[in-house]
Structure formats: structure tokens, C-alpha cells
Amino acid sequence: MSILINKNSRVIVQGITGKTGAFHTEMSQAYAFGKQCYVGGVTPKKGGTTFLDMPVFNTVSEAKAQTGANVSVIYVPPPYAAAAIDEAVEAGMEMVICITEGIPVRDMIRTRYKMQDKSTILIGPNCPGIITSDELKIGIMPGHIFKKGPIGVVSKSGTLTYEAAGQLNALGIGTSTVVGVGGDPVNGLKHIDVLKMRRQRRRKRSPVGQGQHEEAGHRLHRWCHRASGQAHGPCRRDHLRRQGHGTGKTVRDGILRHQGYPQPGRNGRHAQVRAEVIRSKDQAKSLSGLSGQAFFIPVCLPIATRQRRRHSLWWQPKITD
């Protein structure tokens, strides 16, 4: 069972007549039900023409009215990509997938601000796209490595996505819907949003999350099955192993154990700094000009922003007599 797109989706391509748009649109049409799902393209001043056996329109609103499209994919150069997203949102598209990399951050900030009261789902920019195996491909993913299966994948990185799908296929498992959310600092759909969508679909089995997103990792851990009513980490990890799922220890625990200090930390970087602080404790005691004992206390200050969660680490010397 898919999420976001399937063989009933109707797609238009903004920038279809460009070199990149033409190439990937042709590849997408050749995948599964792509021929019937791709219904038109948009290129200003080229309306009324035909390209790749599809009609070309001047505006997104015109294309939507004529074709009934609900999804738009954007292959527009960076200086004009944000405006292309704005046009698709104003036209009322249900989902916009922006493949373009290198859009000016200021342009994307304006676009995201305009989308606050809109229901349009934005995937990207700077993303590989989205694919529902054996049904529909939107974006630049190589379709031949995706085979139908129960596992969903969400990632920032395109190449990591292909690697995960390839390994799942090699194991005979396959993938359902694979989502590349994009790696730009200001983007649309987040890892957590995709995981929530998958959780609502009870027929889905296991999501695979990757791409340097710690908050999503914590969410996956909280959602895993509880063993014997126990909710703490070791029981969950052991239960997942018994179910045949791959598990591993956190980066922070690995770094601290490698340093010889099994102390908790917020993430790998904080754990490494904590280890350095603890290891230098004896050196701090001998600092000249200080009476008594001096040592450093690391304090994690989580700062929640609108776009992402960041963590800053601050420490200061404390003097004890």
C-alpha cells in the first residue's frame, strides 16, 4: 500500500522542454504506469505545442484545469525554481516535488512563508524525488533498482536511498514507497512527516530512515514494539533483533565507549565533547591562577527553530573550594 503517489496520480512537469526535464520525464514515462500518469507539461511561451506526446501549457493553473493533474514536478533552473513552486501552490496542486538544487535560501524562505496557510505538500528542493515501486516514478531515481515490497524508505540523500533499495532487493524484500526529502536547509516535507504518514497506514511494515536526521531516529525508536511491557532501550533493541530487524548502538554510545567513558550524550558530537571534557578534568585541576579545583561542565541547550531542531553545546569553568 503506497503513500503520497500511486498509479492514479496525475503529474505535470514544470520545465518539461529543458534538457534535464525532458530526459527525466522520458525515463519516468517508461517506468510502470508512467505513460498514463504523466499528462502534460508547463513552459512559458510554449503553450499549445506538444512534447513527448503530451500537451504543453503556459501556466500551471491552465494545465491543471485541462488535465486534472494533482502533482507537479519541477525541473526549473535555480533562479526561477522558487517562483515555479509559488505558481504550483497558488494553482492548488496537492503536491509539488522540486528536484532543483541550489535555490537561493532567501527565495525558499519567502516561498515557505507563503505556504503556511496552504494545504500543498512540498517535497524538496534538492531531492531525488519519490517512487512507488512498480507503479509511478517522479524525479531522477533509477527505476530499475526498485522492486515491489513492504518496506518504505525516507532519506535526504539520493545515493543512500539507492543503496538501501538495492540491498533490500538483494535480500528479496523490496520497497513500497521511497521518498527523498531533499538536503537543502529550507525544504518542505520532513522525515517525521513521512514517518507519521506511514504510521497511519497499518498495512505498512517497517520504514527505513536514513540521511543524518537524529530526531527521526528517536521517533522510530519510540514507535518500535515493546517487549514484555518494557519501554526502555535495551528491551526494544532485543525485541527488534528477535523479530529479525537490524539494530545498532547509537553513535554517542560508541564514541564514549571508545574513549572509555560510557556517559550519556545528546548525539555523537556532544558525546565526543563530553569525553574530551572528562578526559581533560585532571589537566584542568592544575590550571595556574585558580584556587581550588577547576573543571568544565558541559551543558546541552536544545534550541527548537521553525525549520529544524539544533543543539548547541556550552560550557564554562566552575570553581570549587
* Domain architecture of the chain: domains with CATH: 11-212 (3.40.50.720), 260-320 (no CATH)
The residue behind cell 585541576 is 285
Q: How far apart are the first and last CA of the chain?
A: 65
User: Rounded to 5 degrees, what angle do the CA atoms 2, 8, 10 make?
Assistant: 115
Question: Which has the closest alpha carbon to 137: 1, 40, 22, 26?
Answer: 26
Q: Convert the pLDDT of each residue in 71-125 to its tens digit.
A: 999 999 999 999 999 999 999 999 999 999 999 999 999 999 999 999 999 999 9
Question: Residue 305 pLDDT > 80, yes or no?
Answer: no
Q: For residue 207, what pLDDT is reported?
A: 65
Q: At what angle do helices 60-67 and 78-90 cross, to 10 degrees?
A: 50
pLDDT at 311 over 50: no
pLDDT in tens, 243-288: 555 554 554 455 455 555 544 444 555 556 666 666 665 555 544 4
The cell numbers describing 264, all together, are: 550519556
